[in-house]
Amino acid sequence: MANARPTSGGPATGSAGAEPPLLSVRNLSLDFGSPKGRVHALRDVSLEVPKGRIVGIVGESGCGKSTLASAIIRLLAANAEVVGGSVEFEGQDLMALSERKMRDLRGRRMSMIFQDPMTALNPVRTIEAQMLDIQYREPADEQEKRRRAIAMLDTVGIPDPANRLKAYPHQFSGGMRQRICIAMALLVEPALVLADEPTTALDATLEVQIVNLLKRLQAEMGCSVMFVSHHLGTVAELCDDVVVMYAGEVVESGPVRDIFRNPGHPYTQALLACDPGRIKQKTRELPTIPGEVPNLVSVPHGCIFKSRCREVHDRCEAEVPGVHPVSNERHRAKCHLREPGKAATRAEAKA
């Protein structure tokens, strides 16, 4: 095989460096068929997940972040169709793989944690049966697989794992079930974990616990995580890099510190302004972003955020903005204002 799996010399820490990224999504576009016409749910989405790093995908509900995760592992609804772009993972284009080869990757090189732990586990099979099932490729005997399952349940903080293994999902609380799902996702020792809003269905205390758990385990195991969330605080806490999505497009991406300290896109700025945790003054009304997400059946010309942008100007109307660096080469935003030289011009114009 020409595309041998890149040899990983232990977990990569910090910099992406010269090593090729584990996952790189390039210009991915995806449509959903609907009675009202084709919904262009993802348009020209590009991002990278470097080895051993946690990349957060943030955005409002319906911005396409969960669709993106489903598209990567190719578990999309029947009415979804990838209309362009590629998803390169460990040297192969996932969008071009046969279903058989794709299934071979699932649960081996990549795994997924789902949003709702209450429905993610099979209700009529024991935790043991499900945890042994996902190891079906392993040559180890049942005893060994059971031992691994118990060890992993112990790692994620399930008390008395040897006995609890015989229990059914409904005998666990929501937080415990999500821990089990995380244990399963990591048990197969994947290179990439797709976490699709794993804390959304949990209350705030549990959310913190689950995020800390994920962070600890990711550091121990050295896998990469794509963490989908609408919660900025969680992303700031957990992720190394952030990708901000709006209405099916990536509007800004970069290292977490740069994005939170120096947001380059008006949408990211507005989003951060709306985060209750960051509001410093006492207020009776929580800030919101006025307006609504555009209709994705007939995508408007120009910038996708123009109808809600505070800094909209004539160029945004007709011209799709390019992707420009903000704080540094890795921190980029899709906005006319970030075009080199242009920000200054606009500031002058204002004056």
Q: List residues binding another protein (CB under 8 A).
A: 73, 75, 103-108, 111-112, 114, 116, 119-125, 129, 133-134, 136, 168, 170, 181, 184, 188
- Tell me whether residue 75 or residue 204 sits nearer to another protein (CB atom): 75
- The helix-helix angle for 204-221 and 174-187 (nearest 10°) equals 10
Smaller CB separation from another protein, 145 or 336: 145
Cα–Cα separations (whole angstroms), residue 166 to 147, 170, 188: 13, 12, 20
Nearer Cβ to another protein, position 188 or 250?
A: 188
Of 28 and 121, CB closest to another protein: 121
Least CB distance from residue 70 to another protein, whole Å?
9
CA distance 12 to 32: 37
Shortest gap between Cβ of 69 and another protein (angstroms)? 10
Nearest distance from C-beta of residue 16 to another protein, angstroms:
26
Pairing of strands 23-34, 80-89: antiparallel
Tokens of residue 324, six digits:
């420009």
Q: Which is nearer to another protein, 125 or 148 (CB)?
A: 125
- The sign of the dihedral angle between the CA atoms of 226, 232, 234, 237 is positive
Cβ at position 345, least distance to another protein in Å: 49
Cα separation values, 145 from 33, 109, 164, 176, 217, Å = 42, 18, 15, 21, 20
Nearer CB in complex with another protein: 44/116:
116
CA dist 338 and 332 (Å) reads: 9
CB 180 within 8 A of CB 126: no
CB of 100 to another protein, least distance (A): 10
Minimum gap (Å) between residue 120 Cβ and another protein = 5
Distances (CA, A) of 336 to 108, 133, 302: 42, 51, 10
Q: In 3-state terms, what secondary structure has residue 218?
A: helix
